[in-house]
Amino acid sequence: MSCLIVRRARFSAAHRYWLPELSAEENLQRFGPTTRIHGHNYTLLVSMLGPVDQYGMVLNLSDVKHVIKREVTTQLDLNTLNEVWPEFQATLPTTEHMARVIFDRLKPHLPVVRIQVFESDELWAEYQGEAMQAYLTVGDHFAAAHRLALDSLSFEENSEIYGLCARENGHGHNYHVEITVKGDVDPRTGMLIDLVQLQQVLKDKVLLPFDHTFLNKDVPYFAAVVPTAENIALHIRDLLEEPISSLGARLHKVRLIESPNNSAEVYTESYAPLL
């Protein structure tokens, strides 16, 4: 029986987005303030798959720690990424390209099946060894109220189904939404999508229309659809698929966190977990 284990590591590094074949004006137009050298506290998650041995382990985690430190974090920590590895000189050190390069560097030493690189709590990338294809996730939030009830049912019947969420004046949440897109990493820019444009699509299609609203009354779709976390996530998926496709990537997943205890995830295609 196989088991997936995950090891976390951290490093701090600087980088910039700058292509020498472009003029200063062209770089600034394309990459904005990221043309300046800036830094992040990165979190790295290394997922490994294998059978459990007689000692109850897939791998000795002490050995795993030393491999990751030797092959990755010691080399990158407190450095400027553009100057450290040749892979980051040929291709800009975006988060998605970093995940791909780290996967390739660890694969000879560990049974790696997934690399996740977190630039912040609201931006991270994932690579699973699929040629140039990677995943990029961005997150943001909105505040909204809703009421869970079907118009065809009485208050008592709705309360039987939805509990306190059926109360007539509704209630509110600070929603956190994460969208994951997938696509091929550009061999020069290191990007699978224009991040600024992706964030703008999320803002225009979801955050601005939903923020500080009573979803049942202010968002036309929910006049006829109960705004459960599941239905909100499905609607966000439908709103974002086409605009993201027009940017040259594919929407992979929408995750809506309604509270620390409740969340919903929807995918645009069948999803095969690593196990």
The span from the CA of 92 to the CA of 37, in Å, is: 13
Query: Which is the catalytic residue, given 87, 141, 165, 241?
Result: 165
Q: Which amino acid is at 184?
A: D
Ordered mean pLDDT values, 10 residues apiece, the chain (275 residues): 94 96 94 95 98 93 97 98 96 98 98 97 96 97 97 95 95 98 97 96 98 97 96 97 97 96 91 61
The span from the CA of 128 to the CA of 171, in Å, is: 40
The model's pTM: 0.93
Question: Quick check: is 3 catalytic?
Answer: no
- Going along the chain from its start, the domains and CATH numbers come out as 1-120 (3.30.479.10), 131-275 (3.30.479.10)
The per-residue pLDDT for range 224-253, each reduced to its tens digit, is: 999 999 999 999 999 999 999 999 999 999
Report the number of secondary-structure helices (H) and strands (E) in the chain: 11, 10
Question: Quick check: is 165 catalytic?
Answer: yes
Give the burial class of 88: count Cβ atoms within 10 A of its Cβ; 0-12 exposed, 13-18 middle, 19 or more buried: buried
Query: Which is the catalytic residue, given 38, 130, 212, 242?
Result: 212
Question: Quick check: is 230 catalytic?
Answer: no
